[in-house]
Chains A and B, each alone.
Chain A
Amino acid sequence: MIQIMHVFGIWLAAFFTLSIFSFLYKDNPFYKFAEQVFVGLSAAYWLVYIIYSIMVPNLFAKLIDDFSGNIVLLIPATLGLMMLMRLHPKTQWLSRYPISIMIGTTAGISMLRYMKSDILEQVTATMINPFSANTVSGVLGNLLLIIGTITGVYFFYFSKKVEGIYKVPSKIGIWFLMVSFGATFGYTVMARISLLIGRLEFLLSDWLHIIK
């Protein structure tokens, strides 16, 4: 029985993979069916997962086991219920409280972290002696890092009209930005091709057994 279900699962996955790929030819009922099944299944999966993996062990089980010891859990439970009030127009205003608490807490936690990791550490990492590297390529890399950072940031300095001598760093900055956009595009292509490779490997290996 397990073997039959395994084979059935592979055929089902192959059918949905080909249905999604069929959109490359043109929009068709197979694609629409696969898309809708995917959306429905994802929503159902997440709902069940959240209930059984988050709400049951972290809230319901604890309240049932020891209500008085875990009475503090009623606060997040109430806030969660208040969030659901958004579904009813007359009680919609209640959801603003949990949302504001969430945004406030997230901003408070993240602000310090981002300040340290994305500003202080990054600025420190750029303040380097370019000639401290042991190799010529290392020195060149350090110089490029410093010039690229300064001119790249300068490109976004809009408080002064970019003309005359001020145009030079801005022009250099845009070259650095273009090179980085090109690299990002290359990586994006690699990621998309990887997804295609993954699906083709499944079709050729698990489904058709052409490759081992």
Chain B
Amino acid sequence: MKLSPVAERRIIFTVLLFAVALPLVFPIGWTTEISEYTRIAYRLIEETDENKVVIISFDYDPSTMTELQPMAEAMIEHAFKKNQRVIATALWPMGVQMAEQAFDKVCSHYPDKERGVDYTNLGYKVGGMVTIQAMGRSLSDVYPVDNQNTPYEEIPMLQNVRRLRDIAWISSLSSGVPGLKEWMMVARDSYQVPVTGGCTAISAPGFFPYVNEQRQLHGLLGGLKAASEYESLIGRLGSATTKMDAQSIAHLLILIFIAIGNIKAWHGKKGRQQ
């Protein structure tokens, strides 16, 4: 039976749809091996002292939240477990809402955490690299108020935080420009603040060279797999872990399709030769 290329494509799409949907409905519970990149990021947060103030920058919007939101929730939870205080910033406008959603979800498990004391959301600022540079000089000049219009000086957790050098570590969850690279170039390379972060799987290979001997990046979470690795490191059964079954099945299926495609091409070539 010979199928047209259009029919073949539709079959592939349908099979892929079921391959992704079924594990979401009936989870398998496969575990993933934890990469060194994730462990380095984990160790940075784990080894930071209590009461230190840290920044998590939400440099993405809802289009990539499937990959980046689990990372944000896991990192906030890890920081809360270590009693670190979290400042949320955003170099992307929708990052502000992403931060609020992440705080709401994590705070439902940590009712003792208080806005202004344990965490704050300073909101969005335009400018990318220039904004980060200005934060290196004075945070209160860049963010005179938080996203609820509370003046910087009246936020208790920020009393001793004047500039980027007062921050213990920075994590940028980034799906493009401005994002992780800008934080690394300014905060780490100019102000020597440890920078870690997460990015979408598609941009991960471009960031891996920065996790090097020079510690330009302290580890990296690349895509959904790394998010699930981080969740397992902090002992959290989060959304990334449940989605990894679907991801794994889909990858297996694509490998099978690649094999079938190659066998078909080989047969076609052989037929033409004969």
Given contacts A190-B201, A197-B224, contact A54 B21 (CB under 8 A): no
The total of Cβ contacts below 8 Å across the A-B interface reads 109
A200 to B213, CA, bound (A): 40
**Least Cβ–Cβ distance between B23 and chain A, in angstroms:** 9
Interface of B, secondary structure class, is: helix
A110, A121, A197: the one within 8 Å of B246 (CB): A197
- Residues of B in contact (CB 8 Å), total 46
Residue of B nearest to A127 (CB): B213
Whole-angstrom distance between the Cβ of B18 and the nearest chain A Cβ: 10
At the interface, yes or no: B186 with Cβ under 8 Å from chain A? yes
> Do the beta carbons of A193 and B222 come within 8 Å of each other?
no
Could you say which residues of chain A place their CB within 8 Å of the CB of B93?
A: 49, 53
Chain A interface, >50% SS class: helix
- Give A117 to B20 CA distance when docked, in angstroms: 39
| Interface residues in A, total, Cβ within 8 A | 36
B202 within 8 A of A: yes
Q: A121-B216, A190-B223, A195-B66 are in contact. List 18 more A-B contacts (CB 8 A).
A: A24-B10, A113-B189, A113-B190, A114-B185, A117-B210, A124-B213, A125-B216, A187-B223, A189-B251, A193-B20, A194-B66, A197-B243, A197-B247, A197-B250, A200-B21, A200-B24, A204-B21, A204-B24
Residues of B within 8 A of A (CB): 10, 13, 16-17, 20-21, 24-25, 63, 65-67, 93, 124, 126, 129-130, 133, 181, 184-186, 189-190, 200-202, 204-205, 209-210, 212-214, 216, 222-225, 239, 243, 246-247, 250-251, 254
